[in-house]
Structure 1
Amino acid sequence: MATVSPSWAYTLQLPHDPRAPGIARATLRTVLAAHELTELIPTAELLASELLANAHRHTRGPYALRVRPMQPGRLRVAVWDADPRVPPGFADDGVLPALPPWDAEDGRGLHLVRACADAVGVSVLRELGASKGGKLLWAECR
């Protein structure tokens, strides 16, 4: 008799705390290992790291990591925050800002996300009832 795996998705609510991105990455590794998706851990962790770092750096409130499978072997990693502003590279025009100088200490994160993800996108969320508004940046890998 064949068994059917139940669908799954995880959301980890995070406070605006410098330790939160590390906790989220550890949680992501544990979730993917539990679902036997260890081959996706390096790419998923890189995508999550960059999106979490941007949420922490560019917003003041809490944020959340969301993880869910899209198809067999394909994963969506998303980060929600309350700021509705869409960063360059996720806007509809898809134009990334220029790469920073080689000695700059930041400015490469979204370039890494675009280079390592199979697909990226954004959903701007309007405040409706229980919704907190903001945006959800996502990246998919397989």
Structure 2
Amino acid sequence: MVTVAPPDTWTYALLLPRDPRAARVARMTARAVLGGHGRSEVSDVVELLVSELVTNVYLHTDGPASLRFAGLGDGRIRVGVRDRHPYIPAPFADPPGDRLKVAPLDGEGGRGLQLVQEYADWWGGLPLGRGAGKRLWFEIGGRSRAFGAG
């Protein structure tokens, strides 16, 4: 009997409509993809961050999102969320890995992107050219970290 191991590098892409349920679909997809590649140990973190980014697309743009998962072969997983709006928010607009200031306790928002900088190993934003929008991305797995650790 021959056993087939998944390749070290892989990609999955998904188009998400502008729908309030898109974040849930993104989380379910993340769990399935990571579980299928034996990376369930990072599933909670990836699901949280994917949910934040897809929710931001729904709240701050008027179009669909695309979601891309990539296993990079050295243990890292890169997740990208693309939308049609050109604005790249901090900390993604700054040099990759830059940090946001802590959101005020009485503020109504601003914590979702702080979660990215707290739990992702690396992150950034890419403009996609005239009228094409942007891709925000983060990487997990570049260093050992447990969910909930600071």
Secondary structure of 2:110's partner?
Answer: coil
C-alpha separation between the residues in 2 aligned to 1:95 and 1:117?
11
Letter in 1 for 2:119: C
2:121 corresponds in structure 1 to 118
Cα deviation, residue 99, structure 1: 2.8
C-alpha separation between the residues in 2 aligned to 1:19 and 1:115?
25
Q: Note if 1:78 corresponds to 2:77.
A: no
Over residues 61-86 of structure 1, what are the superposed CA-to-partner deviations in whole Å (9 max), with x where a residue is unaligned? 01111100123321011100011111
Name the % identity.
45
Contact 1:82–1:134, Cα closer than 8 Å, also in 2 = yes
C-alpha separation between the residues in 1 aligned to 2:105 and 2:47?
24
C-alpha separation between the residues in 2 aligned to 1:118 and 1:140?
6
Contact 1:37–1:73, Cα closer than 8 Å, also in 2 = no
Secondary structure of 1:100's partner?
Answer: coil
C-alpha separation between the residues in 2 aligned to 1:9 and 1:113?
21
Match of 2:107 among 104, 108, 123: 104
Q: What aligned pairs does 1:1-142 form with structure 2 within 5 A after superposition?
A: 5-6=6-7, 7-92=9-94, 94=98, 96=100, 98-127=101-130, 133-142=132-141
C-alpha separation between the residues in 1 aligned to 2:73 and 2:122?
13
Count of matched residue pairs? 137
C-alpha separation between the residues in 2 aligned to 1:2 and 1:31?
20
C-alpha separation between the residues in 2 aligned to 1:24 and 1:4?
25
Contact 2:6–2:37, Cα closer than 8 Å, also in 1 = no
How large is the Cα RMSD of the aligned pairs? Answer: 2.0
Q: TM-score, normalised by structure 1?
A: 0.86
C-alpha separation between the residues in 1 aligned to 2:53 and 2:32?
18
Letter in 2 for 1:108: R
Contact 2:78–2:137, Cα closer than 8 Å, also in 1 = yes
Letter in 2 for 1:63: A
Q: Which runs of 5+ in 1 are unaligned?
A: none
